[in-house]
Amino acid sequence: MLVTRVLGQCPACGHGRYGNVDVYGNHVLRGCERCGVSEQVWLPPLRKKILYLDQSFFSGAFRGGERNRHYVELADHIQRAASAQLVTIPRSSIHDYETRLWERGDELLEFIKRTSRGHTFERAYNVERRQILTGFRRWLDGDVSAYPLAQREALSEQVHDWDGYFVVGIQHQPGDNEAQREFKRQSLEGLLNLFHGWRASEDSFEQCVAGELAGAKKLYLDAFLTYFTRLGQGDFSALFDSPIISKVVEQMRYLLPPEQTLQESVRACASFFDSEHFAKLPFQHVRACSYATLQRMVRNGAYVNLERARGKLSGFYSDVDHAAFYAPYCDAIALDQAMAELMGERGVDLEQTFGVKVFSLNRLEEFHGWLDDLEAGVTDEYRQALSNAYPE
């Protein structure tokens, strides 16, 4: 066996290469490289705080320098808390996508991987699919209780294990970065082009939310019907090149009686998309209310200067998705100033709705204080366990 943390001489044979092999779940494996004697040192169970860091934090900490010194200091504090197994900072598929748009994307992604210590959230489309199928089952059963938010929808329970010494990384193939940057630019311009109409609108917040939900319903149904039509016309390449969203309604239909016709099953899915069950899905609630809140802010005089709006809202859609898909499963999330303010607005109110602490990256003293409180709760017994697992 390979000893990676040498502690001293083997108690059985006296060889000087005795120590920790690795940490597995809730124990340390110790052994001797010569005679093979081994033992397990058990560690107390963990329940780490789940912390989500948006892309602006990672970019600032990675750049470093005097201008980003506050990000670097916070990154060091977070790493200390993570080394003490108090927090974990999983990486998401939205981090992966946004990193591709960055000039030094490969280096930034490696930085994010090191910070996350190999922990990852489920990909955003899997979180979306699981919430929709759970909500659809509850709608079919007539269950009107609150959505049963479960961390396992977005995270493996292994995130609460003691971290091992090694992280296995998977190299993702890059996409067409220039095309993705152009799509992001066009999306932003499309958003800004809506502002004039929003300022003239008299729609209430509730009507704006309803409009967003109706738009989501149309996307799901249109994507499925396009996919289904292509298959019906013998275009079986649709199985491979259709957007992931096109499979949502298809999977919903599996939960319906097999004797239902296509029209009946699509009608049932459409009725679900019109229901409170769909509106109250965590990702859909945050998305729809965030877009409606931005409309309200624009009507009330925000973002009059479009050039400044471009700077503040350049990552708006991705920033909303960071919060919509992952914040409900976290204990805390750190966002840039504009997005943190939006998430605290009436209607979204991320903290009150899901119990997740929202930190603004322009007010880091509160963030440091939260980490200080976690560190202050460490007991002598826990420090001994840390010493057993990670000897200096």
Across 254-259, average pLDDT? 95
Q: In this predicted model, what pLDDT tens digit does every residue of 55-92 receive, in sequence order?
A: 777 777 777 777 778 888 888 999 999 999 999 999 88
d(CA 389, CA 29): 9
Tell me what percent of the residues of the chain surpass a pLDDT of 70: 96
User: What confidence score (pLDDT) does residue 311 get?
Assistant: 85
Tell me what percent of the residues of the chain surpass a pLDDT of 90: 69
Say if residues 192 and 309 touch (Cβ distance below 8 Å).
Answer: yes
d(CA 386, CA 380): 10
C-beta neighbour count of 205 within 10 angstroms? 16
Across 174-196, average pLDDT? 81
What domains are there in the chain, each with its CATH number?
Answer: 5-45+380-389 (2.20.25), 49-190+278-376 (no CATH)
Calculate the alpha carbon distances from 166 to 24, 29, 96, 113, 311 in Å.
11, 14, 21, 12, 39
Read off the pLDDT band of 179 (50, 70, 90).
confident
Read off the pLDDT band of 167 (50, 70, 90).
confident
Across 162-185, average pLDDT? 72
Read off the pLDDT band of 171 (50, 70, 90).
low
d(CA 284, CA 187): 19
Q: In this predicted model, what pLDDT tens digit does every residue of 296-316 receive, in sequence order?
A: 999 999 999 999 988 888 888
329 pLDDT above the threshold of 80:
yes
Tokens representing 315 are 């990552």
User: What confidence score (pLDDT) does residue 166 get?
Assistant: 83
Q: In this predicted model, what pLDDT tens digit does every residue of 331-383 receive, in sequence order?
A: 999 988 889 999 999 899 999 999 999 998 888 899 999 999 999 999 999 99
Across 110-124, average pLDDT? 84
User: What confidence score (pLDDT) does residue 105 get?
Assistant: 63
Mean pLDDT, the chain, integer: 90
Higher pLDDT, 54 or 330: 330
User: What confidence score (pLDDT) does residue 169 get?
Assistant: 57
Higher pLDDT, 180 or 18: 18
User: What confidence score (pLDDT) does residue 74 get?
Assistant: 86
If we measure between CA atoms, which residue out of 69, 86, 146, 82 comes closest to residue 115? Answer: 82
Q: What's the maximum distance between 2 C-alpha atoms anywhere in the chain?
A: 83
pTM over 0.85: yes
Across 194-216, average pLDDT? 95
Say if residues 219 and 100 touch (Cβ distance below 8 Å).
Answer: no
Sheet containing 5-8: order of strands:
5-8, 18-24, 27-32, 38-42
